[in-house]
Amino acid sequence: MDSLDLQVLQQARDWRAQGRAAWLVTVIETWGSAPRPPGALLAMRDDGLVAGSVSGGCVEDDLIDRVRHGERVARPSLITYGVTKEEAARFGLPCGGNLRLVQEPLADTGWVDDILERTARHELVARTLDLETGAVAIEPAARGEAFQFDGKRLRALFGPRWRLLIVGAGQLSRAVAQMALTLDFEVICCDPREEYHLSWDIPDTSFSKAMPDDLVVELQLDPHSAVVAVTHDPKLDDMVLLEALKSPAFYVGALGSRGNTAKRKERLALFDLSPAEIGRLHGPIGLDLGGKSPAEIAVSIVAEIVAVKNGVALVQKKEGSAVADAPGVCARG
């Protein structure tokens, strides 16, 4: 699932805490060129204020207009847009796209608190809504599951926020952190070197002076985690890689030339890493965008992380680079 959906739930809960009525709208089925996937979530307040998106276009405007004209859905109900070619054009669904939604009132927010608390602990959970009764159940989910709707119940996944661990607190790390924050990553920087950690001042990030390998163990990296090692210090970078490459993190990369990457792999092979684990390393880190400045290199690094997260082939790599042969991660699961 998209971690932004967690922000939608939090906003809806806050509206209810303020005494406002609120509704949730979930995409359950799409056909053609509907712009948002099943499971996409929108929250709507009684005055038409919204958070999130189900289409990015006129569908939101129509839902707002319904609320502002007094429509108050008291139980889960289905809404379909774009049945005809004319409706598809009106609601911004090109090529005859269709969009089917479930709209429900948010009465009890206890289940929202449950989801937010469990995902904050980096758990993956599923929410089941019974359309006939409005009952909601929260239960653990497994990796690889997808959004489900059988006509009577919908089952949506809510996973932890994407997380990025940056090892090294230099200028490049600052640029990577700022870009990752705009993509809604939780960002943690780790650097035990005093001359670096004293100058780290990126808002909304966490900083650790622990040894990188110890921090990796403490964080218990999961498939929503990425690691980039950019200290230019082989001792620190290799230490974090020894632990990160054994973890379920979806991306592990290290700064360095192709020659240095080959030497790093030789060093890693001297420890308790299997060839498959060493093969997970991305190096030289980042896509080949021809960048020279720290900001341009940061773009290439973050772009590669996003591509791996979304399961996109890394075709924009320098010839001879180490490209991890691992399955892509679905951004909604």
Please give the pLDDT value at position 294: 92
Please give the pLDDT value at position 328: 44
**pTM as predicted:** 0.73
Is beta strand 125-130 parallel, antiparallel or unpaired with respect to 153-158?
A: antiparallel
Please give the pLDDT value at position 5: 87
Task: Provide the residue ranges of all domains of the chain, joining segments of one domain with +.
Answer: 4-123, 163-309
Please give the pLDDT value at position 320: 67
Please give the pLDDT value at position 94: 53
Locate 69 and state its tokens. Answer: 């004209």
Is beta strand 22-31 parallel, antiparallel or unpaired with respect to 125-130?
A: unpaired
- CATH code given to domain 163-309: 3.40.50.720
Residue type, 129: L
Closest to 91 in 3D by CA, of 52, 36, 24: 36
Cα 3–chain centre separation: 5
β partners of residue 165:
188, 227
Decide if 200 contacts 207 (C-beta within 8 A): yes
Residue type, 281: L
Please give the pLDDT value at position 95: 52
Query: Each residue of 71-80: pLDDT tens digit?
Result: 888 999 999 8
Q: Count the helix, strand and coil residues of the chain and give each as a percent rounded to the nearest 5.
A: 35, 25, 45
Residues of the chain short of pLDDT 50, as ranges, are 1, 326-333
Q: How far apart are CA 124 and CA 113, in angstroms?
A: 14
Beta-strand (E) ranges in the chain?
Answer: 22-31, 41-45, 50-52, 77-81, 98-105, 125-130, 136-140, 148-149, 153-158, 163-167, 186-190, 206-208, 225-229, 251-254, 281-282
Locate 204 and state its tokens. Answer: 């909304």
Q: How far apart are CA 216 and CA 259, in angstroms?
A: 26
